[in-house]
Structure 1
Amino acid sequence: MDTELRDRVVLVTGASSGIGAATARAFGREGARVAITYRSSRDKAEKVAAEVEAAGGQAYVVRLDLEDLPSVARAVEAVAGHWGDVEVLVANAVRWGGDAPPEPGVRFEDVPLKEWEAMINANLVGAAASVSAVLPGMRAKGWGRIVLISSGVAEEGLPGPGPYGTAKSGLYGLARSLAWNGGRDGILVNVVAPRLHPDREPPARPGVRRRGADRRDAHPQALRRRRRGQDRGVPGLGRQRQSDGRADQGRLLRRARSAPRRLARGRGGQASEWAMRSATASASIWCPVSWQRFSW
């Protein structure tokens, strides 16, 4: 299948490891020119760049730090100077607040408001800054693809603090607004939400206060029950919508296909065409923690 990605300029943020690295390698296999960003691990980014080139793509390594917003614009400018305007953005970079994912055992009220501010500024405002930096070039070309990497935590939640899940939830609102705003210019937007694996827990962080270890240990079992439809919710919530990744993906894709027809019904001409494009662009895709190919 021709994905039309050969020689496209792709920027994958946070691509020195994990999902970002796998995404960069996947674009490399499609023959794309892949810009790989890192915050502190340039050696890891260079290794991923070599793998991208071995897979058949071109690679370029550049530093980007979500907590240093000017660095976002500098990274995009560097890529544009090297290859031209960014045509595909995968906003994958994330601020954990430490060297590991959020610690579920921390009580909500024990999280300093400064941590809320830092987490949301990096993971939500940082993503918005990345999008803002690439949009002018995409609009000028009349073509662009933006993928925002959210998290299953945005819907399933996590025992303990909420800054990370709250920031990732905000990407859905960003995508919906951007789809309407950019759809008329040929820019399509998707949200990909990798889900927590029920058999894996993030390592505990030294020095972090933990409460309710028994609740933390029960979290994988709770995830399994909810995904099988055996749990009506979690304590403290009156109602909780259940979710299965594959079912969600099918439902959302069906909605994406039917939404343009619903919006375009009774309309004509340019307004109808814009409605179709922007509605299609607002589809969200849920997937497990692995890269999935989907239509561009």
Structure 2
Amino acid sequence: MDLGLTGKIVFVTGGSRGIGRATAVAFAREGAHVAFSYQSERGMAEETCAAIAAVGGTALPVRLDLSDPASMTDAVETVRARWGGIDVFVANAVQWPSALPDPERRFEQVPPQEWRDLLRPNVEGAVAVLQAVLPAMRGRRDGRIVLISSDVARHRGPGQPGLGIYGMSKAALTGLANGLIAELGGEILVNIVTPGFTVTERNLAVMPQHLRDRQAAHTPTGRLSTPEDVARAIVFLGSPANGNITGETLNVTGGV
């Protein structure tokens, strides 16, 4: 299938590793020009640039911090100055919990600053980055927005105790998408991709093998998703091959 992405301008936030990197590379493989953001790890961003170059693509790394609206405006203006606008936006950047959840800690024991540190970048940051991006997308043909949520927002799975606040921050994307589709109509299609536990560098580092094995055992397909599994779903929804799907959530969870 020709996804119609040749020459399209794609902006992926959080593209220096994991799902974001796999998504940036997958769009480049389809012939898109790919801008992606990183927060601080310039070396990781350079690795993404190399991966995009290896598939014959063109990459533009830009710095973006979900807690800094000025960095969002600067990032978008850098992309506009280079390519004139944005056709596809993938909101993948996220603030993770600072540590694995403690099943012994009660909800009321979570310090206010800890949950604010998740909600502000993941909710307020998502709104602010979309406000920065939308002017660069309006008036262009085949606009697509894909918001990246998390299975934690909807599923009480094994190995995931105490993630309610992070899940709440990702669940907010559903309400955000519902408001956007009413305003944007057919001009820009807006969808959500919800990964389950995905075998990224970060998850491999923080999740012990026995917990990964337990998660896989509860997955109908018998395996955990890779970043490339998730990226393929994002690329389809972000392409002109998605002709009239908007306001939907696509779960990439192995059937969990």
Sort the TM-score into its range (normalised by shorter chain).
0.7 to 0.9
Distance in 2 (CA, whole Å) between partners of 1:82 and 1:64 is 16
Q: How much has 1:137 moved relative to structure 2?
A: 2.4
Counterpart code for 1:57: G
> 1:285 and 2:231 equivalent?
no
Q: Distance in 2 between matches of 1:77 and 1:14?
A: 17
The 5-angstrom pairing of residues 254-269 of structure 1 reads none
After TM superposition, the score normalised by the length of structure 1 is: 0.68
Show the counterpart of 1:14: 14
Q: TM-score, normalised by structure 2?
A: 0.78
Deviations 1:123-165 (A, max 9, x none): 1221122211121222222541100000000001431142210
Does the 8 A contact of 2:149 with 2:173 survive in 1? Answer: yes
Which residue in 2 is equivalent to 1:137? 136
Aligned to 1:119, the other structure's residue is in SS state helix
Read off the aligned partner of 2:85 and give its amino acid letter.
Answer: D
Structure 1 unaligned regions, length at least 5: 205-216, 229-244, 246-275, 290-296
Q: 1:219: Cα distance to partner? A: 9.9
Report the counterpart of residue 27 of structure 2 in structure 1.
27
Considering only aligned residues, what root-mean-square deviation do their CA atoms show, in Å?
2.7
Aligned match of 2:167 in 165, 170, 189? 165
Amino acid at match of 1:107: R
> How big is the shift at 1:80?
0.8
> Corresponding residue for 2:117?
118
Structure 1 residue 197: deviation in Å?
5.7
Deviation sequence 1:18-61 (CA, Å, 0-9, x none): 00000001011011111121011111111111211221221001
Instruction: Output the CA distance in 1 between the equivalents of 2:79 and 2:37.
Output: 10
C-alpha separation in 2, matches of 1:73 and 1:154 = 28
Cα gap change, 1:113/1:223 in structure 2, threshold over 3 Å: closer, same or farther? farther
1:2/1:62 Cα in 2 relative to 1: closer, same or farther (>3 Å)?
Answer: same
Match of 1:188 in 2: 189
What does residue 203 of structure 1 align with?
206
Instruction: Answer yes or no: is the 8 Å Cα contact 2:76–2:136 preserved in 1.
Output: no
**How far is 1:224 from its partner?**
5.3
Letter in 2 for 1:166: M
**What's the offset of the Cα at 1:283?**
1.3
Tell me whether 1:103 sits opposite 2:101 in the alignment.
yes
- Give the counterpart letter for 1:176 in structure 2: N
Report runs of 4+ in structure 1 exceeding 6 Å deviation: 217-220
Identity %: 44
2:29 touches 2:57 (CA, 8 Å); kept in 1? yes
Q: Is 2:82 the counterpart of 1:93?
A: no
The SS at the match of 1:171 is helix
Listed one character per residue, the Cα deviations across residues 151-190 of structure 1 (whole Å, up to 9, x for unaligned) are 0000014311422100000011111111111114x10011
What is the total number of aligned residue pairs between the two structures? 224
Structure 2 unaligned spans of 5+: 226-242
Superposed, 1:246-257 pairs within 5 Å as none
Q: What is the CA–CA distance in structure 2 between the aligned matches of 1:56 and 1:202, rounded to whole Å?
A: 30
Partner amino acid for 2:101?
A: E
TM-superposed deviation, 1:113: 1.4
1:218 Cα deviation from its structure 2 partner? 8.2
- Aligned counterparts of 1:195 and 1:49: Cα–Cα separation in 2: 26
Q: SS where residue 93 of structure 1 aligns?
A: coil
Deviations 1:219-249 (A, max 9, x none): 9758956x66xxxxxxxxxxxxxxxx9xxxx
Amino acid at match of 1:103: P
Q: Secondary structure at the match of 1:61?
A: strand
